[in-house]
Structure 1
């Protein structure tokens, strides 16, 4: 298996590019102002008339709305370019500089989907859709929104949960599989834990506390640079948006394995109690696989028995001050990418 390429432009999982879109009356509408609901945005690229696909999407507007999504058409040009464009269930926006298509590296008509937090969730070129032309494309877009981005239903009061962030699509399935291979192929070793002993940080080993095998991504390696680049695009901006905390550096990334046959687990602990870790601000736990193991939940005991087990490619970000544990894996193998951010 070859290492998947790192897309040089905006890609799935990235926050929407900052571009200035305008309505027919000249008012600005950035992508980030679409937040709170899924945004299905057809970007008209090239000379083809976008009216047929816009009409096909608009014809399903009620179904998109029921799925928690709003529809948009973006055309290159000034506000006059969208004057008189179809408006029933679909908002037409002008892109004077063509910046959205440029940033997303679109070379043909494409519908892009942004999730509730303005992260790029999918890219669907018009001519790649199954079915019959614009109607088939609209059906493919609707199916994707229904299957992958279900709406959040209102409920009375929040559930009891730890103050954590769950960030989807940080790594693609290909990247997850590649990192698992790196762990297994390039070596790993039993993992210890830091503890303060007589005023000093000491690395200890105790199977009653922790059973895990780690592959440390070498400092200065191309892989470290690529993971850092991905974090700078998909993790750091989310932390800044939610906490106003500037992240200046990271510790070495670790690809780790919890094996059921070994009793893989990590008892409740905090990540910043030893002096060597007191400047740690946030921990990142990014699952590389899911569905092929049992147990292995991330639990924050101070906030109850809520277990977090995000999908492959998703990350849980939390303060290093929070008490947390990795519950035992009871079947199969759990792989995780770990990071500490300062």
Structure 2
């Protein structure tokens, strides 16, 4: 399931995040890539140990964790600290799959976070799309490739186990915030069913209030969540 999420970062929050990142030190992004992706990762990344990067990450995490659409789609148990990546003209990130397990004190994890199962990848777009060309996030699906290029402050959440890439930037700079979530529900098909049920019950509640139909949908979703959740 690929979900585009609007308004993750309101304008004031987005402006503060950009201001912090403008003062951060950016280094070679390949330093945090797995061994299999290091050769195709060509971007810059904010120093994760820089206090400004940490502050920016906390702001992004607070916004994402309180977003209702993200919470319904991902059912997050844990979220990795954010990475901030910058792509100048000619820079790209070739086809790769994200690590299944992240953290655990590996060299690519200088903060020493406990291991996390990467179920869901999230990209928050921070640059105005009119300010750069190229840089689409291209996700391979069973129906073909899906290219995602969203407005500033918007996000896309997608299965971390998919093959994906970032197309070369041809003008301007692409700035994004990236993280991964471990879900309470491991099976992506089960997460999609729960998300659809949550969307349906919210639609029914908006039309009818707390009706019999709403109660049955809520009951069914709760029963499936109890069956599938890993706490």
TM-score in terms of structure 2 length? 0.63
User: What CA deviation, in whole Å up to 9, does each residue of 1:78-126 have, x standing for no partner?
Assistant: xxxxxxxxxxxxxxxxxxxxxxxxxxxxxxxxxxxxxxxxxxxxxxxxx
1:211 to 33, 42, 48: 42
What is the distance in 1 between the residues matched to 2:116 and 2:48? Answer: 22
What is the distance in 1 between the residues matched to 2:133 and 2:118? Answer: 30
- SS state at 1:321 partner: coil
1:330 to 161, 167, 170: 170
Structure 2: runs of 5 or more not aligned: 104-114, 183-231
Equivalent residue, structure 2, for 1:121: none
What is the distance in 1 between the residues matched to 2:71 and 2:14? Answer: 25
Matches within 5 A, 1:99-248: 163-192=1-30, 193-195=33-35, 205-206=38-39, 209-218=40-49, 221-234=54-67, 237-242=68-73, 245-248=74-77
What is the distance in 1 between the residues matched to 2:17 and 2:102? Answer: 30
Aligned Cα root-mean-square deviation (Å): 2.5
Whether the aligned pair in 1 keeps the contact of 2:9 and 2:60 (CA below 8 Å) is: no
Query: CA 1:223–1:257 in structure 2 vs 1: closer, same or farther (change >3 Å)?
Result: closer
What is the distance in 2 between the residues matched to 1:215 and 1:300? Answer: 24
Residue 271 in structure 1 maps to residue 98 in structure 2: yes
TM-score in terms of structure 1 length? 0.44
Whether the aligned pair in 1 keeps the contact of 2:3 and 2:158 (CA below 8 Å) is: yes
Following superposition, the deviation at residue 180 of structure 1 comes to 2.8
Higher relative contact order (CA 8 A, sep 6+): 2
Residue 253 in structure 1 maps to residue 82 in structure 2: yes
Instruction: Name the structure with the higher helix share.
Output: 2
